[in-house]
Amino acid sequence: MKVKIRRELFEYLLQLAKDFYPNEFGGFLREINGVFEEVLIIPKGHFGKRSIFFDPWLLPHDENIKGTVHSHPTPYVKPSEADLHFFSKFGGVHIIIAYPFEKWNVKAYTSDGKEVEIEIVN
């Protein structure tokens, strides 16, 4: 399995992770024609140093949301137990961007925690 993400979005997500540091950030990814094109930052979310809290009732009903993204303010790019629980609730693909928020420290996972390849497209 491979996930495709638009280069501009990928670079924007790296910058968001840097801007939110030392806190985590999170969002939902919109897919258009098989490529992640947009991010919806979690509305009214609490972005803490170790976790993110939000009210799922505030999320729009959007059939194009096919994944999530969040940052880890540490170099650890593997999903935590809490991440895996979250992944299981939302399905799709889940991207983790870990400190220092560079391309080489970004991974994508399925809802059951299996790593998938990321392809950056123009």
Confidence at residue 54, expressed as pLDDT on a 0 to 100 scale: 60
* Beta pairing partners, 46: 53
CA-CA distance, 67 to 51, in Å (whole number)?
Answer: 18
Q: Determine the average pLDDT of the residues in 25-32.
A: 92
Place of tokens 């992944």: 87
Q: Name, of 4-18, 40-54, 61-75, the range with top average pLDDT.
A: 4-18
| Helices (H), ranges, 21-110 | 81-90
Q: What is the pLDDT of residue 86?
A: 77
pLDDT, position 89: 79
Instruction: Answer yes or no: is pLDDT of 48 > 60.
Output: no
Q: Where is average pLDDT lowest: 21-30, 50-59, 62-71?
A: 50-59
Rounded to 5 degrees, what are φ and ψ at 46? Answer: -105, 115
| Domains of the chain, first to last | 2-43+62-116 (3.40.140.10)
pLDDT for the residue numbered 90? 77
Cβ burial of 21 (10 Å; 0-12, 13-18, 19+) is middle
Check whether 53 has a pLDDT greater than 60.
no
**What's the average model confidence in pLDDT over 86-95?**
84
C-alpha to C-alpha distance for 114 and 98, rounded to whole angstroms: 17
Residue 106 in this model has a pLDDT that exceeds 80: yes
